[in-house]
Amino acid sequence: MTPGLKDITDTLRTQLGALGLKAFGQEGDPFDPARHEAVAHHVSPHSDHLICTEILRSGYRLGDQLLRPAHVEVTGPALPPS
């Protein structure tokens, strides 16, 4: 990224953060269907709950309001048969 674009990005991030916009979604977060949208599920016999293992697209909140869920890949136990 060029220095000029980096300055614009930093300014936008600062200004939007001052308005209450927050990005979320970290690898290792427990999967929360109210905040995350799982686009892939990897089965692990060693896990007892779903964990976000890759963030494909960050989510955003404005205060308490969800603007966009994070798109994630999750790893955890096999899903029960439906």
E strands of 1-82, at which residues?
Answer: 21-24, 36-43, 51-57, 59-62, 65-68, 70-76
In the chain (82 residues long), the average pLDDT of successive 10-residue segments reads 91 91 95 96 91 96 95 91 72
- On whether the pTM is more than 0.75, the answer is yes
Domain positions in the chain are 21-76
* CATH class of the domain at 21-76: mainly beta
Locate tokens 């060693």: which residue?
A: 46
Rg (alpha carbons) of the chain, rounded to whole number: 16
